[in-house]
Structure 1
Amino acid sequence: MLATAVDALPTGESLLYEPKWDGFRCLAETGPVRMSSKSDKPLNQKFPEIADALAALPEGLLLDGEIIRWAEDGRLDFQALLRRNSASVRRARALSRSEPCHLVVFDLLRVGGRDLMGRALSHRRGELERLMGLVEQPSPLTLGWQTDNPEVAMQWWEDMPAVGVEGVMIKDGRRSYRPGSRGWRKWKHRVTTEAIVGGVVGHARAPRALILGRVDSVTGELRVAGRTTDLSPEQSEELAPHMVKTDDHPWPRTLAATWGSEGRQHYTQVEPHVVVEVSPDSAEVAGRWRHVVRYVRVRPDLTPEDVPKDLGTET
């Protein structure tokens, strides 16, 4: 089941709130254990510590959750998940000891072979809480937080981006589980900040998206920081006069992309002197904003020296 983005926290009867964890979505079955991604990619061998914990649960379960990694600094570490995802079976087993991960379980879709998808979320949650009460802690399996108090949800939304939580999920406790539908809502934590335009997708005179840069506070070099969502025709027209194509650029001709399913990002290099205001969420990986960011406006009143360094949001 999927979610639609909203711009504010909804309130109302029967609404339940959960943190929006930044990790790998996972469906997990028992008897035998089978972990799979949203695209049905098997995950058992990538996260053996979680698979081993699932094997101790009763047979006939189907759980929905998010695989996360808490780093030693108390933040969510998405980079560790990427390392695990590309590791060999032997390497993944070693990483399970040095960088253990958790499955945050937030829904129960089958128990004892009995399908619960048609039951209300509040009913499924009650059964899930009883099941997770059997799990001896500490364990790679943990019950996801949930509240019906919008004030608590607002506190999560305000405080938890500091540890890498993306926002808040909003679900109706009366609703069934409908695979593939966007019956949930998500309120992601976004801020506006500035970035330097280092390239454009498309032509400099008709940019389709922007490749953004930030100066590395250690080396002083301009590094790739992210990519914007596709621009509207009006935004493209607004930006085109500011874009100057160049062959003298610090970045390679193609970039290893971390946005969506693209393998490499082809782009046009432009002189890195234009500053734009953008709205990223809190997810980061390898020194970049992990998700595409929303373009807000061009900032001709600012110079690259005015832009925060690294991925900071304030100078």
Structure 2
Amino acid sequence: MVPERMLAKTVTAMPVGDHLVYEPKWDGFRTRVTTGPTRIVSKSGYITNQRWPELVAALDTLPDGLLLDGEIVCWRDGRLSFDALLRRNTASPRRARGLARTQPAHFVAFDLLREDGEEIWHQPLRDRRQRLEALFAADHDPHLDLAWQTADPDEARDWYEHLTDVGIEGLIIKDSREPYRPGKRAWYKYKNLQTTEAIVGAVVGSVEAPTALVLGRHDPETGELRIVGRTSPLSPPQQRDLAPLLEEASSGHPWPGGNAPALGPSRAAPYTRVTPDVVVEVAPDTGVAAGRWRHSVRYVRVRPDLSVDEVPQGLDIERRSG
């Protein structure tokens, strides 16, 4: 049995209390891996071994019967590079082998859910962490890393304030007494920048050179894809990154032809509908009106590791769960 991923809910202040532990929030691809045989399983449930040959080789050195939860990251010039991960996400097997040599990835393990074939995710985090640390105490491949963890709030604040320069997004806070709770949003995330996801439903400008994105979310009551916002103008590099992923919609698009909403300094403008299957990360502010973000939102990056089903509904910052 492979349990669902345990999730985190956003907080606007760092929780402090007995039994809490703190970990960096890595800027990477959330991934679970098994050994014996090695399988690298994406957030969406796909086996992605061909994208990460160096990680397959590294994980093959671990004992059989493990299930690890963690993050795939890439380091470039001393900081985490999400762009390097995006290149790997679309690389052919041959290209992935080349990138594995020139831009290697690392797997950062932060939880141990199965050991020697025994399910241990129901045990307290402190016990799972001890077993994970024992696993990493022995010599291991340099592509495998153990996530940092501290019970000291002052050390955690220092991480939060000073690790942004290397691409750490904030903190994940966990209760050391808790079991792994599949599908539950029972951890906390305290981010330097509050971001969320949306679906690209249309673009301002052409599909080949989009100047802004018209964002959609599914209505929590009806399930319909509705316009919830528009990004501020895209830079030329952002346009080049997005254009190959977008496809002009044919028939059956849920939105009629029309204009992108006027937001802030941006005037209403004609939009081109696209197939609504591309997920992007954006940074909205708190202003909402008539079921939309009131101001234009900042585009952060494309999220090919997420499906449209994983995007929050309505104007929620994160997806609801039990």
TM > 0.5: yes
**C-alpha displacement of 1:172:** 0.3
Query: Which residue number corresponds to residue 175 of structure 2?
Result: 172
CA distance in 2, matches of 1:240, 1:173: 44
**C-alpha displacement of 1:29:** 0.6
Query: Which residue number corresponds to residue 304 of structure 1?
Result: none
Structure 2 contact 232–298 (Cα < 8 Å) conserved: no
What is the aligned counterpart of 1:244 among 267, 276, 287? 267
What is the aligned counterpart of 1:89 among 84, 88, 93? 93
CA distance in 2, matches of 1:32, 1:222: 39
CA distance in 1, matches of 2:137, 2:179: 23
Structure 1 contact 213–224 (Cα < 8 Å) conserved: no
Q: Secondary structure at the match of 1:97?
A: helix
Query: Which residue number corresponds to residue 70 of structure 2?
Result: 65
Q: Secondary structure at the match of 2:279?
A: coil
CA distance in 1, matches of 2:192, 2:91: 31
**C-alpha displacement of 1:225:** 11
CA distance in 2, matches of 1:65, 1:38: 10
Q: Are 1:29 and 2:48 counterparts?
A: no
CA distance in 2, matches of 1:31, 1:54: 9
**C-alpha displacement of 1:95:** 0.8
**Cα distance change on mapping 1:191 and 1:105 into 2, 3 Å:** closer
CA distance in 2, matches of 1:200, 1:261: 11
CA distance in 1, matches of 2:231, 2:297: 12
Q: Secondary structure at the match of 1:212?
A: coil
TM-score by length of 1: 0.68
Q: Secondary structure at the match of 1:105?
A: strand
**Cα distance change on mapping 1:31 and 1:22 into 2, 3 Å:** same
Query: Which residue number corresponds to residue 260 of structure 1?
Result: 279
**Cα distance change on mapping 1:240 and 1:57 into 2, 3 Å:** closer
Letter in 1 for 2:37: P
Report Cα offsets for 1:243-271 as digits up to 9, x if no partner: 53346xxxx84679996279xxxxxxxxx
CA distance in 2, matches of 1:223, 1:40: 29
CA distance in 2, matches of 1:42, 1:17: 29
**C-alpha displacement of 1:19:** 0.3
Query: Which residue number corresponds to residue 181 of structure 1?
Result: 184
Query: Which residue number corresponds to residue 230 of structure 1?
Result: none
CA distance in 1, matches of 2:117, 2:132: 14
**Cα distance change on mapping 1:223 and 1:113 into 2, 3 Å:** closer
**C-alpha displacement of 1:45:** 1.1
Structure 1 contact 135–141 (Cα < 8 Å) conserved: no
Q: Which structure has the greater CA radius of gyration? A: 1
TM-score by length of 2: 0.67
Report Cα offsets for 1:160-187 as digits up to 9, x if no partner: 1222111100000000011111111100
**Cα distance change on mapping 1:35 and 1:241 into 2, 3 Å:** closer
**How many pairs does the alignment contain?**
247
Q: Are 1:149 and 2:169 counterparts?
A: no
Structure 1 contact 214–225 (Cα < 8 Å) conserved: no
Letter in 2 for 1:44: N
Query: Which residue number corresponds to residue 158 of structure 1?
Result: 161
Q: Secondary structure at the match of 2:71?
A: strand
Unaligned runs of at least 5 residues, structure 2: 1-5, 196-210, 217-225, 243-260, 282-293, 304-310, 316-322
Report Cα offsets for 1:259-290 as digits up to 9, x if no partner: 6279xxxxxxxxxxxx958688xx6579xxxx
CA distance in 2, matches of 1:131, 1:222: 41
Q: Secondary structure at the match of 1:123?
A: helix
Unaligned runs of at least 5 residues, structure 1: 227-237, 263-274, 296-315
Q: Are 1:134 and 2:138 counterparts?
A: yes
Query: Which residue number corresponds to residue 56 of structure 1?
Result: 61
CA RMSD of aligned residues (A): 3.6
Report Cα offsets for 1:109-163 as digits up to 9, x if no partner: 11111111110000000000000112335x1100000000111111111111222
Query: Which residue number corresponds to residue 107 of structure 2?
Result: 103
CA distance in 2, matches of 1:257, 1:10: 37
What is the aligned counterpart of 1:19 among 21, 24, 35? 24
